[in-house]
Structure 1
Amino acid sequence: MLEPDAEGQGSEHLAETLRELRKAAGLSGERLAARAAMSQSKVSRIESGKVLPTVVDVERVVNALEVPSEVASELLSLARAANVDYASWRSYARVGLWRKQAEIKALAETSSTVRQFLPAIPSGLIQAPDYARAVLTPAIEGNPSRNVERAVQARLESQEVLNDESRRFHFLLTEQAIRWQRAEPDIMVTQLRHMAGLTDRPNTEIAIIPHGVTISAAPLNIFVVYDDRLVMVELFSGEVALRDPQDVSYHLNVFEYFRERAVTGEAARQLLEAVADGFMRSHG
C-alpha cells in the first residue's frame, strides 16, 4: 500500500513517462488525443500532472502510442497504484481528528448520492451525540489520542449535510452493526431511536440486513461511495481512497448486492425499535 508521499511521486513519474513516450513517438498532443479518443486539453493536463489519469486513460494512451506490451503493463500497474491513496488515523490525529469530519462533510456536499456500507457500526452522519462520544473515545492501546469533544462537535456539524434534500444518502447496515453494544444500554436506545427517526426523511434511506438472511458474500469492510468517482475504505489503522473507475464500479456492485437483501422503510424502523426495546429491557 502506498503512503501519500509515495503516491504523489508515482503520479509524477507516470505523467513524465507518458509525456516522454508521446515525444518519442513523434506525436503532438493533438494527434495523440485524436488517436486515444480524448480531448487535447485532457492529454495536456495528464502530461503536466494536473490530472491523475485513470487506468482506462492510460490504457487508451499506450494503445494509441503502440508501446511494447511489457512497457504498457508497467504503466498500467503504475496507474493502478497512483489511483490508490492511504492515510493512517495517526496522520489525522496529528492535525486534529475533527478535520476528518470536515472532510467527510465536504465530500458529501460535492456529491449527489452517498452510499455507506456499514457492517460494523452506524455512520458518523447518523450518530447521536452520546453514542458519537463513546465511539470517538480511544479504547484500544495504540489508538491515537484526540480531542474527543472537538471531534464530537465536528461530527455533529457534519450531519448538517443531511438537511440538503437535493442529495441522496443510503446507509446500509448489518443487524450486527445495530446490536453491537458500543456504549451503555441507555445510550444504545437513544442511538437506535435516533436512526429510526431518520427513516422518515425523504432523502435518507436506512437499510438493514437482518439476521437469518442467507448471503454468500462476506461483509469485509466499511466503505463509502461518493457518486461514481470515489470510494473510501476504512481499515483498523486508517483508510484507503480508490479512484479507479473499475474499483468504484465494483464497490457499487457490492453495495447493491447487499442492499437487495436488506429491509428498508417501515420494516427497518420496526427492527431498530425492536433492538432498542431489547436494550431497554436489559437496562431495566
Structure 2
Amino acid sequence: MPISPSSSAQAAREGVAGRLRDLRKDAGLTVVELAAGCGWHHAKTSRIENARTPPSPTDIRRWCAVCGVPECAEDLVAASLNAETLYTEWSRRVRLGLRHLQSSYIQLFRATRLFRVYSPTLVPGLLQTEGYARALLSSNARLLDVPDDADQAAAARLERSQIIHEQGRRFVLLMEEGSLYYQLGDQDAMAAQLGYLLTAGALPSVSLGVIPRANPERALWAPEVFHIYDDALVSVELLSAQVNVTQPSEIALYLKAFEQLRGMAVYGADARTLIVRAIDALR
C-alpha cells in the first residue's frame, strides 16, 4: 500500500533521523560519545535518532562535524527543513480565509527574482484576471467547506500579481493548451482572461509558453502544478495540500522537468495563435 501524502512528513523526518544515526555508527561513536562531542545530553541524541525531536540546523552541523563528515551537513539541513514544511493541508492554510492565503505569499514573492511556474489545467495565478480568479477561488471555498470570501481573495491575488510589472524580476510561465479551454466563470470572464494572456505574454519580464495538445514528440507527461522560486524552493499543489520541496537534489529534478516542459512549449506568435483559437472557440 502506498504511503499517503499526510504521512509523508513523518516519513521524511524518519529518513533524516536514520541518516544521522547511520553517520554516528559509521564513525564508531556511541550515543553518549556523540552527545558529549555535540555538547548536549545523550537523551537528546536518542530523541533525534528516533524522530521524536526534529534537529535544528545547528544540531545537524555539530552532529556531522563530530562524525567527521561536515560535507554531509547542508543536504541534511535541507532535508530536515523540508520534512518540517513538507506537507500542509489546504484546510489549515485557509483557516483564516482565502484572502489571507493570497496575502501570505507576499513575502516569498518579494524575495524571489526568478519565478518558474508550470500549470497543466489552469491559467497561472500570476496571470489570472479578477473574474477568472474569483470563480476559481469560490469553487475552492466550496470544496474545502470554508467561508467564501472569493471577492476579497481575488482582489488580493490581483494585487499580489502586480509584481510582474516591477523591474528586476523574471517570470517563465508554462501552461498546457488544454488549460485555455477549461472555462471558469461565465463566457465573458473567460474571454477576458484569454484576452489578458495576449497582453501579459508580451510584457518584457514575462516568458509565456503554451504546450500544444498535438505534440507527437512529447518528452514528459503532464505532472502536477508546481512553482519554482529562484533555485531555493519548489511548491507543489495537490488537491488536498501544498507540498514544499527544499532538498537540493529534489529541486534539481523539478528544474530538469521544467526545462523539458519548456522545450515542448511554443512562444510569441505561435502561442498567441493558440490563445486566439481558444477565444474563437468561446463564440
TM-score (norm 2): 0.75
Distance 1:61 1:271, change over 3 A: farther
- When residues 81 and 212 of structure 1 are mapped into structure 2, their CA distance, relative to the original with a 3 A threshold, is same
Partner of 2:46 in structure 1?
none
What amino acid does structure 2 have at the position aligned with 1:251? Y
Equivalences for 1:101-120 in 2 at 5 Å? 101-120=102-121
Tell me if 1:24 matches 2:34.
yes
2:221 is the alignment partner of 1:218: yes
Deviation at 1:228, TM superposition (A): 0.8
Shift of 1:80: 8.4
Distance change (3 Å), C-alpha of 1:28 and 1:112? same
* SS of residue paired to 2:121: coil
> Which amino acid in structure 1 is aligned with residue 180 of structure 2?
I
Q: Deviations over 1:98-145 (max 9, x none)?
A: 222123332221111010000010122111111111111126554433
2:158 equivalent in structure 1 = 156
Q: Name the SS of the counterpart of 1:173 in structure 2.
A: strand
Q: Conserved in 2, the CA contact under 8 Å of 1:120 and 1:177? A: yes
Paired letter, 2:196: H
Tell whether 2:185 aligns with 1:178.
Answer: no
Give the letter aligned to residue 64 of structure 1.
Answer: G
Alpha carbons of structure 1 residues 225 and 22: separation in structure 2 relative to 1, 3 Å? farther
The amino acid that maps onto 2:202 is D
Q: 1:147 to 1:28 in 2, by over 3 A?
A: closer
Contact 1:231/1:243 (CA < 8 Å) preserved in 2?
yes
Matched residue type, 1:24 = L
Give the Cα–Cα distance (whole angstroms) in 1 for the partners of residues 191 and 175 of structure 2.
Answer: 17
Aligned partner of 1:236 among 234, 239, 253? 239
Superposed, 1:197-208 pairs within 5 Å as: 197-208=199-210
Give 1:85's aligned amino acid: L
Equivalent residue in structure 1 for 2:56, among 49, 60, 69 = 49
Residues 187 and 166 of structure 1: is their aligned pair in 2 closer, same or farther, counting only changes over 3 Å? same
Say how many residue pairs are matched. Answer: 252
Partner of 1:89: 90
Question: Among residues 64, 68, 71, which one is paired with 1:64 in the alignment?
Answer: 68
- Bigger mean CA deviation after superposition, 258-267 or 91-100: 91-100
2:8 and 2:93 map into 1 onto residues whose CA distance is: 13
- CA–CA distance in structure 2, aligned partners of residues 243 and 236 of structure 1: 20
Paired letter, 1:163:
H
Matched-pair contact (CA < 8 Å) for 2:34–2:66? no
Give how far 1:79 is off: 3.9
- Distance in 2, matches of 1:172 and 1:130, equals 21
CA RMSD in angstroms comes to 3.9
- The residue identity in structure 2 corresponding to 1:109 is R
- 1:79/1:278 Cα in 2 relative to 1: closer, same or farther (>3 Å)? same
- Aligned partners of 2:121 and 2:161: how far apart in 1? 20
